[in-house]
Amino acid sequence: MSRPEDTEYNSDGNIPAAVVWDLDGTLVESAPDLANALNAILAEKGLAPRSVDAVRMMIGAGVPKLIERGFRAAGAPLDEAELNAVVPRFMERYLACATDNTYLIDGARDVLEHCRLAGLDQGLCTNKPEAVTRKILAKLGVDHYFGCVIGGDSTPARKPDPLPLLTCLEGLGTSPAKAVMVGDSGADVGAAKAAGVRILLVPDGYTGVAPESLGADRVVENLADVPRHMSVPGPH
């Protein structure tokens, strides 16, 4: 695979063939739009809104978990049947506003372009539903970077199950041993470790816990630092 002479990927010769990205908290800031959708649903039930900062810490395990956490925080926990009934209404609200205030994190476009020029195949694996994921990627003008997009409803399981990540790699035609994942959460670490994929974490995601405590192969200083850290030690 040919790469630019000035690439930083080959610091120890362990050069990946593909990189799979998480979305929320890794490449995009989506908390404001998710908070707007959640608060609209809470308002319909006569419940007080949650702040964007509070909602940011609820993101990462898929829409049902976000709704469950939001209603619990508002003092009105939902049982399974109630939760299932709310999900479609939330998605209606979210699809209508998903690109209003969502934006690329600083350095995201540059690092995606850097990886493209380096010859890496790129995929995206998120717990956000696939349709709204694709809408956001298109609106932000980065959809062309990804050879495979797997959302939270694209497979029967969500991260930290390895199935979505393995499905993404299959779509890219890359084996786990030749891939790196970049994410921000314990779900990303869990999926990557279970799939046998090296995992880098960015420090400013949505988990609310120290990224160093999550068991990644490496925590980078910021998103722009990802390229020079691609050659992380392989999984054990």
Enzyme catalytic residues: 22
**How far, in Å, CA of 88 to CA of 55, rounded?**
19
Q: What is the DSSP string of 8-33?
A: STTSSS---SEEEE--BTTTEE-HHH
Nearest by Cα to 140 from 168, 100, 171: 100
Task: Give the chain's largest Cα–Cα span.
Answer: 60
**How far, in Å, CA of 155 to CA of 84, rounded?**
18
Identify whether 160 is preceded by a cis peptide bond (ω within 30 of 0): yes
Return the residue matching tokens 């395990």: 61
Q: Crossing angle for the helix pair 80-97 and 31-44, nearest 10 degrees? A: 130
Query: How many CA atoms, within 13 angstroms, populate the side-chain half-sphere of residue 129?
Result: 16
DSSP letter at 124? Answer: E
